[in-house]
Each structure stands twice: as C-alpha cells, then as structure tokens.
C-alpha cells in the first residue's frame, strides 16, 4: 500500500468498507505517514461532529401543520374499480351506448381518421427520434437501392419477426405498443426506400464494405420487429401520438447534436432541459408514472433492494461483455456500465449504449438496460465526447443493421 492508495482509501477505512484484512494492513501502513494519520484523525472528528450535530428541528406543532398541509394537497384518487374504466372513456362509452346514431357518426369519423392516419404513416416523412437518426435514415434507402440492383426487385424490406431464426429480442406485443417506445428502431425501419429521395454517397460506398471487425457488432444486430403497414391500424394511431412526443424529444436533443466539442456541457447537470432524460424515462412507461424522480426511485428501489441482485455484476453483464471483455481483453473491467474502465474505447461505449438501448426498447421487461444506456449516454457527454463522433457511430450501426436485415432477406429468399 503506497501513500496515494492510503490517501484514496481513507474514507473507506473510516466507514469500515474495507475487509478485515485490509483494515489491519491499512492501519499498519498508516503509521508510516504522520500527515495521513493526522488527516484520518481530523476526519474522525468530523464524523463525530456530524453525528452529534443534529438538524435543528422545528416544534411538533409545525409538523402537525406540515402534515395537514400535505394532506390537503394530496390529489383525489379514483378507486381501483373506477381505474378500470377511466372517467373520460366511461363517459364516451355511456354516450355511445345511449345513442346508436352517435355510434355511426363516431364510427364514420374514426374510419376517416384511420385512413388519414395510415396515409400519413405511409406517405409522410418519419420523424426521427434522435438527432443521429436524421442522418441514419438517409442510409437505409441508399443501401436498399444498391441491394435492389443486385437482387430481385420484389425483395421485401421488412422481415417477419415470427420467422426469424435465432432471434433474441422479444417483439413488443401490439397492446403495449403505445406504452413501450420502440420508436428509436421503428422510425428508422418503417422508412421504405421509396419514401425518401435522400441520397448518401457515403452510404453507397459503405454499403458493400465488409462489416466492421473492430466492434463485432454486426453479429449482434438481430433484425428487429417491424410494424407491417397493413397490420398496423392500431399501432398507427398509437404511433401518431407517440410521434408527437418524439418531436418534443428531438427538439430537446437537437441542441446537443449541433454543439461543437467546446460547447458541450461538461457535466450532465448542465444539459439543457435534462435532454437525456427521455432516454431513460419516456420508454419505461413514464406516462404511467410521470414524475421522473418517483419513477427512478421506484425502478432502482425495486432492483437495488432485491436480494441477490448485484448491480455491478448486472451492469457488467449487460454492458460489458461484448465490447469490454471480449474485444478489449479487459476481463477485470466490470465496473458499472464500464464507464470507469480505463481501456474502454469511446466507440465501444457509444456502440454499447446504442445497442443496449435498442435491445431494451424492444423488450419492455428489460428496464435496467435502458437505465444503463442512459447512464452511458451521460458518461459520453460527461467525457466531452464529440456528438458528431457519436452520431457517426450510430449511423454505422444503422448501416450494419440494415446489412444484417438484407442478409436475412437473402437467406429467406434462398431457403
């Protein structure tokens, strides 16, 4: 134990966070450095002061009033029975039941709306969720056109999830489509080649390049579930409202994408309007639990307090294996989200964040992955990594994913 190590671990020593053996060794080594011993002594006194200095609490009368004020501000809640049928919806149902003519009118309007919505879905440009998708969307059509030249023209762009071999990502049930944000994936995938006239010469060049061996990510990019248009009447409606939210998210995130490296926030605390929050919250049923603080507390509480769950191990397992251990050979780098791993490359961090996010949003039960992805995204920003680099990498991921999908289509066509 050198002096630097001792100094770094004084707090752990004072808080009894070292093992018994380490404690004994620490104490022995500490005696060699009088200045450190003095520091330990002062910190001990500080801890004593902290414990003996209680918060000066107001009188009980104050707390009576505080409790009353809180109670008075508590919102009225609907009973469980009422919750099954929300009042507004119940009122509409009552109205419809009372008047069959109304049913016809409402039905007609709904049918027209559906047609319009489907039309919007098919013909309007897809609103990208994140800034990087503004560019990544341009890649897919170019690749598709290139592939179309080589293969038969009737080749479908959208794979059918049910028949995908070796598929690992669970498709989101239709009923959950509104609550679970698959948008980061779907908005890109629903973009048919003919929908956009965008061209990307880079993408054309890249399309036939061999897959990126530096990350090995192509092998992990399973084709994702795709909403097939003629089966997507309900999701189309849900998508429309979701897209409205996405537009807001994009607005929030856009400033980050346009910032230069120097302008990037040095800390997540200074991000404009908590721009990264959507990554973690929006797709986690945030609408059911709209306060991010409560939401984070609920999710983390249930994970962290659950016996047998090792948060660090979970993080390492979720985020670390592919990029950190396999590729960098850093078998000891099992810190949460890999953020502290000194030999972890930026590219891997970013790739893992995006990949995990994509997987997580495809699987509504995997809440923790989304939080980890959020944390990684924060780390990326904290480290002042150029957003352009991030976007470039995400574009590359999108391209590789597209190639994988094309390969799958070819496989399907030939088998």
Q: What SS3 state is found at 67?
A: helix
Judged by CB under 8 A, the chain residues 38 through 57 that form the site for other proteins are 39, 42-43, 45-47, 49-51, 53-57
Nearest to 256 by CA among 389, 398, 376: 389
Under the binding rule (CB under 8 A), the answer on residue 20 touching other proteins is no
Which own/partner pairs from 272-280 qualify as long-range (CB within 8 Å, at least 24 positions apart)?
Answer: 276/374, 276/377, 276/378, 276/381, 277/374, 278/249, 278/252, 278/253, 279/357, 279/370, 279/373, 279/374, 279/377, 280/370, 280/371, 280/373, 280/374
Q: Contacting other proteins (CB under 8 A), which of 74, 153, 165, 414?
A: 74
Using an 8 Å Cβ cutoff, are 377 and 360 in contact?
no
Q: For the chain, what is the radius of gyration of the CA atoms?
A: 27
Q: Judged by CB, which is closer to other proteins: 176, or 312?
A: 312
Residues with Cβ within 8 Å of residue 118, at least 6 apart in sequence: 229, 232, 233, 236
The one among 15, 21, 152, 162 contacting other proteins by CB under 8 A? 15
Residue for token pair 């409606």: 237
CB 91, min distance to other proteins, A: 20
Q: Which conformational region is residue 234 in: left (phi greater than 0), alpha (psi within -120 to 50 degrees), or beta?
A: alpha
DSSP 8-state code for residue 158 = S
**Residues within window 289-308 making contact with other proteins, judged by CB under 8 A:** 289, 291-298, 300-305
Rule CB under 8 A: say whether 259 interacts with other proteins. no
| Residue with Cβ nearer other proteins (185 or 284) | 284
Least separation in angstroms between residue 355's CB and other proteins is 20
- Output the smallest distance, CB 198 to other proteins, in A: 37
Site string for other proteins, 116-145 (x = CB under 8 A): ------------------------------
Stretch near other proteins under the rule CB under 8 A, chosen from 4-12, 89-97, 325-333, 394-402: 4-12
383 sits near other proteins (criterion: CB under 8 A): no
Q: How many residues does the chain have?
A: 415
Q: For binding to other proteins (CB under 8 A), which residues are involved?
A: 8-12, 14-15, 17, 39, 42-43, 45-47, 49-51, 53-58, 63, 66-67, 69-71, 73-80, 266-267, 269-270, 288-289, 291-298, 300-305, 311-312, 335-336, 339-340, 371, 375
């Amino acid at each position: 134990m050198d002096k630097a190590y001792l100094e770094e671990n004084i707090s752990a020593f004072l808080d009894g966070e070292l093992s018994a053996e380490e404690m004994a060794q620490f104490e022995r080594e500490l005696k060699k450095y009088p200045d450190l011993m003095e520091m330990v002594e002062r910190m001990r006194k500080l801890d004593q002061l902290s414990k003996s200095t209680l918060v000066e609490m107001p009188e009980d009368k104050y707390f009576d009033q505080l409790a009353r004020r809180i109670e008075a501000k508590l919102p009225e809640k609907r009973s469980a029975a009422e919750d099954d049928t929300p009042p507004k919806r119940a009122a509409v149902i009552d109205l419809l039941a009372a008047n069959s003519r109304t049913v016809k009118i409402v039905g007609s309007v709904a049918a027209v709306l559906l047609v319009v919505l489907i039309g919007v879905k098919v013909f309007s440009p897809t609103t990208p969720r994140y800034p990087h998708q503004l560019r990544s969307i341009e890649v897919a059509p170019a690749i598709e056109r290139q592939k179309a030249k080589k293969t038969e023209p009737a080749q479908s762009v959208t794979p059918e999830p049910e028949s995908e071999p070796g598929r690992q990502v669970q498709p989101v049930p239709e009923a959950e489509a509104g609550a679970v944000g698959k948008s980061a994936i779907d908005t890109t995938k629903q973009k048919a080649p003919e929908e956009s006239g965008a061209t990307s010469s880079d993408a054309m060049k890249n399309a036939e390049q061999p897959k990126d061996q530096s990350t090995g990510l192509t092998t992990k990019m399973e084709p994702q579930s795709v909403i097939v248009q003629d089966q997507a009447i309900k999701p189309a409606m849900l998508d429309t409202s979701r897209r409205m939210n996405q537009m807001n998210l994009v607005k929030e995130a856009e400033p980050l994408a346009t910032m230069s490296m120097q302008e990037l926030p040095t800390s997540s605390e200074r991000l404009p309007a908590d721009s990264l929050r959507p990554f973690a919250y929006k797709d986690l049923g945030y609408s059911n639990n709209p306060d991010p603080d409560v939401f984070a507390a609920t999710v983390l509480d249930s994970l962290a307090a659950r016996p047998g769950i090792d948060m660090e191990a979970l993080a390492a397992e979720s985020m670390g294996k592919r990029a950190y251990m396999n590729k960098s050979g850093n078998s000891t780098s099992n810190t949460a989200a890999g953020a502290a791993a000194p030999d972890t490359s930026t590219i891997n961090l970013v790739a893992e964040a995006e990949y995990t996010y994509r997987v997580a949003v495809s699987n509504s039960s995997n809440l923790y992955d989304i939080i980890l992805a959020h944390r990684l995204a924060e780390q990326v920003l904290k480290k002042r990594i150029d957003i352009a680099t991030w976007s470039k990498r995400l574009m590359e991921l999108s391209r590789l994913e597209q190639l994988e999908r094309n390969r799958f289509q070819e496989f399907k066509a030939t088998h």
